[in-house]
Amino acid sequence: MMAQAVLTFSPHNGWSLSLSYHDKKDYHWVMQVIGAILAITGSSIRISNINNNFQYAHGIFGLIAMILTCISLVGGVINLYSERTVVTKLLHSGAGTLTLVSAFIGLCLGFDKTIFRLARGQTTSNLLIALTVFALIGTLLTATISNSKRLLRR
């Protein structure tokens, strides 16, 4: 959900193409808040149920993603209600990028775990890792192009 929220501002995104900038902004923050609530809640439940969660890279990246989600959420609220400058936009965008990267790395590491590979098979695990990498690159590439164009217009 949070990756789609990032793509809300992309001019190449079909579902948000016809929306005004104000509507895109509204959809973006609503999707980000819902995604953040789901991610933080899910991570908190998982952390409380597993004792050895941070002994593996998957759990460590999940914790990093959860912390960065909180930071990005606070940065988004500051960006929404303060005087929006290039610096606040870049800080919010940077925190969001780091959040997505760490979350997608954690997801790939989860797909690569032995228990997942045994349950779903090698081919499915490899396909899910490839699709996750493809989704991350697509999301970041479009967001980077959109942000660069926006900054160059100033």
The pLDDT score that the predictor gives to residue 142 is 81
Q: What is the pTM of this model?
A: 0.83
**Dmax over Cα atoms in the chain, in whole Å?**
52
* pLDDT in 10s for each residue of the chain, 154 residues: 888 888 888 777 788 888 888 898 899 989 999 999 998 998 888 888 877 777 888 889 989 999 999 998 888 888 888 877 777 778 888 888 899 999 999 999 999 999 999 999 999 999 999 999 999 998 888 878 877 776 777 6
Which among 104, 96, 95 has a CA at the least distance from the CA of 134?
A: 104
- The CA distance from 48 to 50, in Å, is 6
Cβ-based neighbour number of residue 34 at 10 Å: 13
- The CA distance from 71 to 62, in Å, is 14
Assess contact for 40 and 70: CB atoms under 8 A.
yes
